[in-house]
Amino acid sequence: MNFETWWLLALPLVFGLGWMAARLDLRQAISEQGALPRSYFKGLNFLLNEQPDKAIDAFIEVARLDPETTELHFALGALFRRRGETERAIRVHQNLATRPDLPDTEREHALYELGQDYLRAGLLDRAEDALRALMSGPYAASAKRVLLELYEVEKEWRKAIDAARELQSATQQDYSVQIAQFCCELAQDALQRKQADEAIGWLEQALRENPKNVRAPILLGDVAMASGDLGAALGHWLGIERQDASYLPLVADRVVKAYRDLGEQGKALEWLRGLLKTGLAPELLDTAYRTELELAGPAAAAALMREQLRRQPSLQALTRYFDARAALAAPAPATADVAEGNGAPAADAANATADATPADATAQEDAAIRDLLQLRTRNLARYTCRECGFRARLFYWQCPGCNRWESYAPRRTEALG
């Protein structure tokens, strides 16, 4: 009986305490809301409705009423930078970084944001100075990433290598792909200065950093070709098949030229015909057609394209097939009499125009189909970035859209639309 009486007394007390706590929380929330200016909530509403211009105006009003709101200043600076108003963003973050009462963590945050503002504005020296002040602390890794981006923009490849290695040590992430590409960039710079030995050193370092790097053996083959060592050049280029055969189309023209310079045209034709039987056909088709046409004639080129159409139909192969038919139907070279302008052959040629044969009509139809195909396929095949989808007619080691390295597949897409 005493136990039940105790419970009857305790339950109302518990409910009363809970009611009082709820009232206190409600009062605190109301007081905190009342302490914030209405412009703050208007700014949030504008942001949610994707109206950044109006949001900025509202937040500027809040900052004017309460200059101590550091988080709001950071938000304002980020909004300014996103809109491209880098001068206003720099001014906001400079004011924060120079405030004497700002905690160290927030001061480092302001310097980090300031470095990004400078980078966006193209003030690269100032950006580097701001970011270099953050090589330790909570923003060190983020600052090093922005520094790496800055060095890539400046094409300071040696500094980029050092920054990538620092990031690799700090974050335990693999930057071997980027470092190898930076070495290849330095090698290309050396080749432009006619420093072949220096270029070879950078390319060998690129392969040590990333043995799968394909750009290095391509450039090593170029160096060997320039020095007249055709065998070594072919060794580098043909060796790409062991690394990644999908990159072979990038060196197909080089391989054909090397074989021709060696007087081994048959090997060039055999190599291309064999590769056409693989999945590399779309990228090799133009090189194979041109080589076959030049070395074996239009009949062989037409037969090769007809076989390719049976094996792997594509608009590109169909276009080349009609190109070969047009080459077959081309008139024979003029005789000496016609070239000298003698009357009888010239009259015969004029009469031949009036009396068109079925073969002439077929040739005209083929030409019309070929022109239509060329018009349709001129801008069809594209290399596509795997990261951002940027499409380009040329192959890039670094995507112009998202600046990622080796994000382009060496396979072109033949997508309509």
pLDDT of the chain along its 417 residues, tens only?
454 554 555 555 555 555 455 444 434 433 444 445 555 545 555 544 555 555 555 555 554 545 556 776 777 777 778 777 788 788 877 777 777 777 778 888 888 888 888 888 878 888 888 888 888 888 888 888 889 989 998 899 999 999 999 999 888 899 999 999 999 999 999 999 999 999 999 999 999 999 999 999 999 999 999 999 999 999 999 999 898 888 999 999 999 999 999 999 999 999 999 988 887 767 788 899 999 999 999 999 999 999 988 888 888 888 888 888 888 877 655 444 434 444 444 444 444 444 445 555 566 666 666 666 665 556 556 788 888 888 888 888 999 888 899 898 887 765 433
| 204 contacts: CB under 8 Å, gap ≥ 6 | 216
CA dihedral of residues 76, 77, 81, 85 (deg, nearest 10): 80
Name the 3-class secondary structure at 259: helix
Q: Is 139 helix (H, G, I), strand (E, B) or coil?
A: coil
Q: Which amino acid is at 31?
A: S
Query: Is 184 annotated as contributing to ligand binding?
Result: no
Amino acid present at 169: S
Q: Sheet of 391-392: strands edge to edge?
A: 391-392, 382-385, 408-413
In eight-state DSSP terms, residue 249 is G
Instruction: Return the pLDDT at 26.
Output: 36
Contact indicator for 148, 131 with CB cutoff of 8 Å:
no
SS3 412: strand
Distance CA 200, CA 206 (A): 10
**Domain 67-171 maps to which CATH number in 1.25.40.10, 3.40.1580.10, 2.40.30.10, 1.10.10.10?**
1.25.40.10
- What distance in Å separates the CA atoms of residue 302 and residue 293, rounded to the nearest whole number? 8
pLDDT of residue 1: 46
174-244 classified as CATH 3.40.50.150: no
Please give the C-alpha separations between residue 414 and each of 54, 249, 284, in angstroms, as whole numbers.
Answer: 44, 16, 14
Query: In the prediction, which pLDDT does 3 show?
Result: 47
Angle (CA) 62 64 65, round 5°: 65
Q: Which pTM value belongs to this model?
A: 0.71
With a CB cutoff of 8 Å and minimum separation 6, the contacts of 227 are 196
